[in-house]
Structure 1
Amino acid sequence: MKFVPSVIVKACALTTALSAVSFSSFADSPNFPHISTTGYGEVVAKPDMATFSVKVVESTMTAEQAKATVDKVVSSFLTKLQSAGVEDASINSSNIYLAPQYHYPKTGKPELVGYRASRNVTVQVTDLTNLNKYLDIALGEGINQIDNIQLQVRDQAKYQEKARLEAIKDASYKAKSLASGFEKELGDVWKIDYNAQSVQPVLMRSMAMDARTESSTYQDSTITIRDRVDVVYQLED
């Protein structure tokens, strides 16, 4: 069963300033009566894709053995992913990281006790229903650490546009309400300040290497996409 993104749109009512001079977020202060408003909007969407990062870590007595073990696990994992239908473009495998491990006695020089090797693999999941299957493959092939799972939404630009339009409506509504409350007429827009809002994906960390423990949690999660706009309106007598 495929997940279909569902959207709930709402506007957040926050404080709006009414003044004869602009507040600090507007560098150029107009010399006429005006209202400065900030509009907020947000879209709540159900995730339908994900990106997860896993790592295999191995410590052995020799660098060659540590590297060989890690490379074997990663190679097997990538082969199984490709067999499961994951495209090469959706997989990113890092180079191996190899570091000596030392024991530090209270006296004397550090003692070399072995080598630690690790490699990361990041996988983009275009169908969220396959996430559990890919994580199970990782477990079965010897991956011993899940770094994170980022839940995401397809067509993010479309949802960002919805949030932006809600922010514009919110700013306009506040300006009209304030002008009416102070028995003033709302004039034209004098200035618009806009900075695109960054979207934070839903980040989940697995405390244990068991993909099933997170399954119900990420399937029921939502992503909130926010936007804002700062607007200065002229006031008419």
Structure 2
Amino acid sequence: MRRPHTALALVLMLAAPLPAMAQQPGTPTPPTITVTGTGEASARPDQALATFTVLRTAETARAALDDANKAMREVSDGMRNLGAEDRDLQTSGFSINPQYRYDNTEGSQQPPTIVGYEVRNTLTVRVRDLARLGEILDQAVTLGVNQGGEIRFELAEPGAVEEAALKDAVADAMATARLIAEAAGVTLGAVREIRENVGMAPPPMPFAAMEMRTADAKSVPVEAGENSYNASVRMVFAIAD
């Protein structure tokens, strides 16, 4: 019973005049002003991601794996003892690679010989209490970590900072558009199009630091600094006159 109505609606759509859906050929394009604005906002991070790797070598893959497994269990348990929850611990890398020896003499080349195996197990830890980050780094080495140590500072809720950067970018674009319109002797019209892009910028070097001291003088010194978020917008304005 619904098919006749559908067919009628299709006929009505096809019968609609084309000028209502598209601009007639030959019609001049309305003049516009296109500008790009940039903005930035910063905030102190409130958490960090630290990456720790246990590297072990042995004559056999089994022996290297057993050593790496034992060490990583100690590291994981140690992180939990320092306050990390299960959701804060994630295996982010694992590899087993043979180690070769190349015996080359003058005029001849011998095939490589496997002399051992290397196992890498990488753990990424989310540190929610930055005051303990130095202690965690120090303890990780004590527990057997011998590679890695990459740290990335983050905001748990970056939305407010991203919004501030975006507002700054829009204000910058609108100020530029007004300046161009005034210099050209035209009147700035309504916004016709906006495209935005927001992202976290890498920390400057050197960067303003927030020192985090702990009671334990053996802890690794850590500087958290600030995270900067950059935003850019492309805005198209109509020219009113």
TM-score interval, normalised by the smaller of the two chains: 0.7 to 0.9
Cross-structure match for 2:57: 59
Match of 1:231 among 217, 225, 235: 235
Is contact 1:97–1:117 with CA below 8 Å preserved after alignment? Answer: yes
Moved over 4 A (4+): 200-204
Look up the SS of the partner of 2:75 in the other structure.
Answer: helix
Question: Once the two structures are aligned, what percentage of the paired residues are identical?
Answer: 29
Cross-structure match for 1:188: 190
Task: Look at both structures and tell me which one has the larger radius of gyration over its CA atoms.
Answer: 2
Look up the SS of the partner of 1:54 in the other structure.
Answer: strand
| Correspondence 1:88-237 to 2 at 5 A | 88-94=86-92, 96-106=94-104, 107-194=109-196, 196-200=197-201, 202=203, 212=220, 215=222, 218-219=223-224, 221-237=225-241
Distance 1:32 1:87 in 2: 59
Distance 1:38 1:94 in 2: 39
Q: Deviations over 1:125-175 (max 9, x none)?
A: 112111111111101101001241101123112211111111111111111
| Correspondence 1:13-24 to 2 at 5 A | none
Q: What value does the CA root-mean-square deviation take over the aligned residues?
A: 2.2
Q: Which runs of 5+ in 2 are unaligned?
A: 1-27, 206-217
* CA apart distance, 1:110: 1.6
Cross-structure match for 1:71: 69
Q: Deviations over 1:34-67 (max 9, x none)?
A: 2111111110222221101110111111222211
Q: Which runs of 5+ in 1 are unaligned?
A: 1-29, 205-209
Aligned residues: 198
* CA apart distance, 1:181: 2.2
Look up the SS of the partner of 2:67 in the other structure.
Answer: helix
Match of 2:35 among 15, 34, 37: 37
Is contact 1:150–1:201 with CA below 8 Å preserved after alignment? Answer: no
* CA apart distance, 1:94: 4.7
* CA apart distance, 1:184: 1.6
Distance 2:70 2:129 in 1: 27
Is contact 1:152–1:201 with CA below 8 Å preserved after alignment? Answer: no
* CA apart distance, 1:180: 1.7
Distance 1:112 1:145 in 2: 23
Distance 1:133 1:171 in 2: 45
- Closer, same or farther in 2 for the Cα pair 1:93/1:193, shift >3 Å? closer
Q: What letter is aligned with 1:104?
A: Y
